[in-house]
Structures are given as structure tokens and as C-alpha cells.
Amino acid sequence: MDLQLSGRVAVVTGASKGIGLAVTRTLLAEGARVVAVSRKSTPELDALSGTGLVHVAADLMDPEAPGQVVARAVEEFGGLDILVNNAGGPPPGTALPRFSFLAPTDDDWRTMFEFNLFSVVRAIRAAIPAILQRGGGSIVNVSSGSARLPAPMNVDYNAAKAGLNNLTKALSEEYAAQGIRVNTVSPGPVRTAWWTEEGGAADIIAAQVGTDRDTVMNTVAPEMMKLSTGRLVDPQEVADVIALLVSPRSASTTGADFAVDSGFLKQV
């Protein structure tokens, strides 16, 4: 299926690995031109280099960074059609999961909201004028199933993502008539660096339950989170949904939230 993305310009944050890397690869394959944003590149991102890809090294915790990224997209490719706010999760230097409301400090809360909500607010604020100049486009915010299924684990992260869902709905109402669609994609647990890196979620849970990293990812986490498919989500599965949402083929889809979560969310 042709997603009609050839020649369109996208900014993808958190693009060096995981979901962001999969989104970048998919949009490039569909003919889009991509500004890939991350603190640093990776060999996997470098392997995608070509005339349609520009990597911008940026720390989105810097309030000036989102605007600079959008300006670079306009400078390199002449405009902006698509914004994928994928960067999120544990802020730099933070290890998740935390198992209690009392665990995060005030500084932890501030940092969590800065990374998972405020950086997105700034990116959208910078992107909207550029997207409007092109006659409209699409914004996808990567949220989390935990925004709709809150629990004491990672309570600060869950609250930030719930705020992101609310923001998305509000933006979809304000800008639909001007041609900008805004949606969320809410993954469940995805087999990304958050889980797989040394000291990541799998290691933290393994230490709690007395097992190893692979057993956590293959058995303990799917059982603990009651995943219907019995496995963690693959990043490409999330990227495929995002690619469809940013496509003109989804022209009537806005203000929606798409769960790509292995059956994590059970409620109607």
C-alpha cells in the first residue's frame, strides 16, 4: 500500500534506537525525508544515512532545542509536514521502574515531566507554524498504555503520559479545521533499550524477583503485565502504526489513541 509519503518532511525524536529508529527507517522507505533527532547517533542510524536523512544532535531537555530542530528541518528540506514525538521514557540518568509513589522526589517529578511532556509541548509549539505553512500535516505523540492504566509503579511517568494524552486531544480539537491531525500511539512494553540495556527495566525487575534479564523479558514481564500475546512488542510494530497515522490515508483520523501493547489494556 502506498502511504503517499514521498517527498514529505518529518521530524522524528528519539530516533537513534528502538521505536524512533524503526519509525525513521520506515518513513525513509516510504520516500519521506527525515530529520532524526537524538543526543547522539548510533551505528544503526548511521546505516540509514543518505540524501533523505539528516541527523540533528539535540538534548530535548534544553528548552531551545525543539525550536532549533524544526528550524533545521525547514532549512534542510524547505518545510515540515510530520512531527513524531517519540523521545520519552526514563530521563537521562534515571532508572525505571520505581515501585512506589514515595520513591520519586520533587526533582524526579520535574525531570520526568520535562522529558515526557514539556519537551513535547515545545516541539509542537515550534512545529505548528511550519506545518501550517505547508497546508497541514500530522503530529503523532508516543504515549503509553500506562497513561490509561495507572499503577503505583512509575507513577510520575504515568502521570506525564496522561498529560500527553490530554494535550493531544486538545490540539486535535483546535487544529483539525486547519489541516493538522494529532493522535497518540500508546505502546505497552516494547523490546527496546529501556528493557534490554544493562541496568534497565529487565535487570531491575530481575533483581526484585531473583531471576535473569532474559527470563524477565520472555516470561516474567509478559505474565506480570498480563500481555495477551505473551510477548513484548517489537518496535517495528509500533512504527507501522505511526507510519499509517502520518499518512494522508488516515485523513479522517485525529484525536485518537492507538494501543500497540500486546493486549496490555483490557478495559473497553
- Residues annotated as part of the active site: 157
What is the four-CA torsion angle of 223, 229, 231, 235, rounded to 10 degrees? -140
The three cell numbers of residue 85 are 514525538
Dmax (CA) of the chain: 55
Q: What 3-state class would DSSP assign to 12?
A: strand
Helix segments in the chain, DSSP class H: 18-29, 43-46, 65-77, 106-113, 119-133, 155-175, 193-196, 201-209, 213-215, 221-224, 235-246
> Long-range contact list for 205-209, CB < 8 A, 24+ apart?
205/97, 208/99
The three cell numbers of residue 250 are 488516515
- The number of CA neighbours under 13 Å toward the Cβ of 59 is 5
d(CA 163, CA 140): 15
**Angle (CA) 234 237 238, round 5°:** 100
Secondary structure (H, E, C), 84-146: EECCCCCCCCCCCCCCCCCCCCHHHHHHHHHHHHHHHHHHHHHHHHHHHHCCCEEEEEECCHH
Q: Which residue type sits at 88?
A: G
The three cell numbers of residue 139 are 503530529
d(CA 125, CA 170): 13
